[in-house]
Amino acid sequence: MFNITNEQDIQFLMDTGGQKVLIDAVETVALITNAELGEVECRHIHTLEPVTQGSYIKVNEETYLNVTENTTMRNNKYKTKIQHCNYVIEVAGEIEEVLMRDKDGNIVYDKFGDEVYIQVQGDSISVPSIVKEDKSFSINGTQLLVANYQINVTVKDNEVNLTKFAVNNAFKLMDEEWKVRNHNRTRKGLLILICEKQ
């Protein structure tokens, strides 16, 4: 979009034309420009510090996912492509065993004097994601296997998402139940889930 090679000019441009964004919940100033027009909303983000692939970027209350690597500066700034997260997946919280308590906060005991434990479900978490239809197929011997109804879900690659979206785990999305069939981790920072409708 622009080609300014002077460091002071880049800093001036950031100070005057940049906007505050959150990159993985850390506020920073960036220039946001439009990428090519397509089926999905993509933008370019220009920063003075690198933005790792898989980072979540909040721009004007909308969440984007950094889908490209940017390891080198271009004209004294870093430039990367971000894609709008078109869905937010609600995933159930952890189940935790806690001591049962009465209305006064005292521990409850059974008739044998043992503490009584109950299972409590933690708060659900929201996972911003990029969801698109999978149009792939596979060949098994002499048979051509066409996907029944599959989607690819791209999220940030982290421990929480690896646990919540483990292979064979299921989640609800678009009023349907989806089962994770496989993981694709070939793009550092991104966890791509291959999912099938149940």
C-alpha torsion angle, residues 19, 24, 25, 31 (rounded to 10): 0
Domains along the sequence of the chain with CATH: 7-84 (no CATH), 88-197 (2.40.10)
Q: Residue 180 forms beta bridges with which residues?
A: 195
Kindly report, residue by residue over 106-141, the tens digit of the pLDDT.
999 999 999 999 988 888 899 999 999 876 666 666
Q: Which two tokens stand for residue 119?
A: 């299972």
**How far is residue 32's CA from residue 81's CA, in Å, rounded to a whole number?**
10
In 48-169, where do the E strands start and end?
A: 56-59, 62-66, 78-84, 87-91, 95-99, 117-121, 125-134, 137-140, 143-146, 150-156
**pTM of the entire predicted model:** 0.78
**Given this model, what pLDDT does residue 1 score?**
47
Distance between CA 117 and CA 108 in Å, rounded? 9
